[in-house]
């Protein structure tokens, strides 16, 4: 009797193991089709139809200060007075280094930090904190000041610093 009980247990265990193996291997599952067969990171992005419509305010990207429209040069528009920047001949890296040298030599300017990859100096001048940015453009490099909100800095201190930079850098 003992032999038949142990044989039944072994047979039950073997049958259970076979059923589990067949059930987990997906032999009876036909598999996913189309985009669902791809790995999750390879599937196309699904955008809700109301966000895909042109002119939707939620889908518009704000303009960066470095990409903001610059006033056309003219006798009435002084770019330094308007808080805009100026162009300097040379590569972004060369101009960034020159701007750093000029800032270090100027009295009253404290450089809190600099980020060469971003082309920015975080400066304090006349009790104001702002960025001096150097951006590559077709004509060389564009030097400007940016306030903490990311907009062109137009206060008296950034305007004064930008005018001094322009006098020392631009021909």
Q: Are strands 140-146 and 86-88 parallel, antiparallel or unpaired?
A: antiparallel
- pLDDT tens string 71-108: 444 433 333 344 478 999 999 999 999 999 999 999 89
Domains of the chain (ranges; CATH) run 65-169 (3.30.310.170)
Does residue 168 register a pLDDT over 70? yes
For residue 104, what are its two tokens? Answer: 């270090």
Calculate the CA 89 to chain-centre distance: 26
pLDDT value of residue 162: 93
Whole-number Å distance between alpha carbons of 39 and 126: 55
For residue 70, what are its two tokens? Answer: 């610059």
Contact between 4 and 12 under an 8 Å Cβ cutoff? The reply is no
Does residue 130 register a pLDDT over 70? yes
Task: List, as one string, the DSSP characters of the chain.
Answer: -HHHHHHHHHHHHHHHHHHHHHHHHTTT-----GGGGS-GGGSPPP--GGGSSTT-GGGPPPPPGGGSPPPPP-SS--TTTTT--EEESS-HHHHHHHHHHHHHHSTTEEEEEEETTTTEEEEEETTEEEEEEEEEETTEEEEEEE-TTSSBP-SHHHHHHHHHHHHHH--
Q: What is the pTM of this model?
A: 0.52
Q: Which of 129, 142, 139 is nearest to 79 (CA)?
A: 142
pLDDT value of residue 10: 76
Contact between 8 and 16 under an 8 Å Cβ cutoff? The reply is no
- pLDDT tens string 36-81: 677 777 777 776 666 665 666 666 677 766 666 554 444 333 333 4
pLDDT value of residue 101: 93
Residue % of the chain over a pLDDT of 90: 36
């Amino acid at each position: 009797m003992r032999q038949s009980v142990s044989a039944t247990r072994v047979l039950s265990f073997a049958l259970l193991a076979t059923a589990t193996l067949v059930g987990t291997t997906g032999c009876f599952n036909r598999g996913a089709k189309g985009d669902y067969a791809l790995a999750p990171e390879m599937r196309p992005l699904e955008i809700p139809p109301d966000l895909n419509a042109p002119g939707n305010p939620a889908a518009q990207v704000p303009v960066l200060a470095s990409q903001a429209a610059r006033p056309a040069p003219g006798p009435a528009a002084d770019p330094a007075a308007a808080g805009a920047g100026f162009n300097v001949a040379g590569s972004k890296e060369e101009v960034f280094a020159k701007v750093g040298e000029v800032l270090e030599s100027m009295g009253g300017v404290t450089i809190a930090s600099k980020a060469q990859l971003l082309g920015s100096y975080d400066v304090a001048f006349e009790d104001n904190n702002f960025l001096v940015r150097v951006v590559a453009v077709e004509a060389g490099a564009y030097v400007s000041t940016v306030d903490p909100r990311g907009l062109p800095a137009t206060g008296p201190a950034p305007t004064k610093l930008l005018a001094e930079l322009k006098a020392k850098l631009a021909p």
